[in-house]
Amino acid sequence: MTSTTSTLMTEPAAGRFGDFGGRFVPESLVPACAALAVAFREAWADPGFRSELDELLAVYAGRPTPLTPARNLSAQLGVELLLKREDLAHTGSHKINNVLGQAMLARRMGKTRLIAETGAGQHGVATATAAALLGLGATVYMGERDIERQQLNVLRMTTLGAEVVPVTSGSRTLKDATNEAMRAWVSDVDEAHFLLGSVGGPHPYPWMVRELQRVIGAEARRQSPTVPDVVVACVGGGSNAAGTFAGFVDTSARLVGVEAAGGAAMTNGSPGVVHGARSMVLQDAEGQVTEAESIAAGLDYPGIGPEHAHLGAIGRAEYRTVTDAEVVDAVRRLARSEGIICALESAHAVAWVLRAAGTPDLPTGSRVILTLSGRGDKDMTTMLGGAA
């Protein structure tokens, strides 16, 4: 299979990215997904919608976020490391970019309530924030295990007025929260919008969320003095990476996504269907989805966005893994070298750079843009635990 860079990361034909993507949903959700695709396409072509979103991103979310030279780490590692600072966006992560756009779209479609899934809680916080701003209801499904390790974000969501629903089934993490959120959408599809946080799910979600996150890569490309040698971001479902890669997919830059070693659907998975899309999935010999395991709640997911699966299949993007121990070390190394405490999710990308710098995988002198997808306040309890 071949694709030219000019056709990569555009609107997918029939919701397909090569062999991946599609819309594998209950019959009751097919009309809702189709209507959402039409509504987003119309909104995205509407200058008024784009202008309102751009204004909110600027005056409310704090965009553009800076591209910060990590001078101390660069000197230590022998590479030029530039950090795209999504941790400085309102609510503390890149999630606000997607959520503001989808919440505006929900209001435009006449919906009164947002339904969302969350793992680390950052998407839930962003959803609660947008709901409060735009006068919408918000119900956030969160795995019981993630609630226990992300109490700060649970408090933030409830303070903002959202209902947080604990999910006690399965592994009690992001996969199960997504299952329950989709079930809730089926039962209230006329009034509610399912505000998916990543580039997974049925069409149009992978395309829509990538477009709403494209602002990351577009800004970074304008801010970078030259095209970097490498662009790197952490990957679970992969929205921050998709948004970053979209700004550089038509350049010579290598695109590197970094997965959690205890999950790593791109590295350890096989083609299958999860949450309405065909992608790379962790599954057993019978095709049953298996559990992922990561110190980072936001990467505790058994799949990856279908566009990432396609980019990996055609060789345009590369996917690496790092261990929990490397991630914890990366949080500390960045904090003590640059005074920046990043999220455990973001630290996966940092960990790969720390390991690869000065090797053939990342030669000395390379210029690297790394997306710091979020800040690490939420993870301090985890850092204090046994894993630290």
Catalytic: 291?
no
Distance between CA atoms of 22 and 34, rounded to whole angstroms?
12
At residue 189, the pLDDT reads 94
Distance between CA atoms of 356 and 289, rounded to whole angstroms?
31
Q: Which residues of 89-106 are buried (b: 16+ CB within 10 A; e: fewer)?
A: bbbbbbbbbbbbbbbbbb
Q: Identical fold at 13-56+95-194 and 63-93+214-387?
A: yes
Contact 139, 111 (CB under 8 A): no
Distance between CA atoms of 107 and 52, rounded to whole angstroms?
13
226 class by beta-carbon count within 10 Å (0-12 exposed, 13-18 middle, 19+ buried): exposed
Q: What share of the chain is helix, strand, coil (3-state, %, to 5)?
A: 45, 20, 30
Say which of 117, 180, 338, 345 is annotated catalytic: 117
At residue 388, the pLDDT reads 40
Contact 319, 45 (CB under 8 A): no
DSSP character for 112? -
Catalytic: 95?
yes
Fold adopted by 63-93+214-387: Rossmann fold (3.40.50)
Distance between CA atoms of 130 and 362, rounded to whole angstroms?
39
Quick one: angle between helices 95-108 and 47-59, nearest 10?
140
At residue 5, the pLDDT reads 65
pLDDT, tens only, 158-210: 999 999 999 998 889 888 999 999 999 999 999 999 999 999 999 999 999 99
Length of the chain: 388
In the chain, where are the structural domains located?
13-56+95-194, 63-93+214-387
Amino acid 307 reads: E
Q: Comparing C-alpha atoms, which of 163, 156, 164, 194 is closest to residue 178?
A: 194
At residue 383, the pLDDT reads 87
Helix (H) or strand (E) holding 212: helix 205-223
Please list, in sequence order, all residues whose beta carbon lies within 8 angstroms of the beta carbon of residue 246, skipping any fewer than 6 positions away.
9, 210, 211, 213, 214, 217, 218
At residue 386, the pLDDT reads 43
Catalytic: 219?
no
Q: Which residues of the chain have pLDDT under 70?
A: 1-6, 386-388
Distance between CA atoms of 371 and 233, rounded to whole angstroms?
5
At residue 4, the pLDDT reads 59
Sign of CA dihedral 194, 191, 58, 140: negative
First to last CA, the chain: 43
At residue 1, the pLDDT reads 38
CB count, 10 Å around CB of 134? 14
| Dihedral angle over CA of 112, 110, 101, 172, nearest 10 | 40
Contact 137, 168 (CB under 8 A): no
CB count, 10 Å around CB of 25? 19
Strand-strand pairing, 137-143 and 163-167: parallel
> What are the backbone dihedrals phi and psi of residue 273, each rounded to the nearest 5 degrees, phi first?
-115, 130
Fold adopted by 13-56+95-194: Rossmann fold (3.40.50)
Say which of 74, 279, 346, 373 is annotated catalytic: 373
Say which of 95, 111, 175, 378 is annotated catalytic: 95
pLDDT, tens only, 270-283: 999 999 999 999 99
Distance between CA atoms of 274 and 278, rounded to whole angstroms?
7
Contact 373, 345 (CB under 8 A): yes
Distance between CA atoms of 266 and 268, rounded to whole angstroms?
6
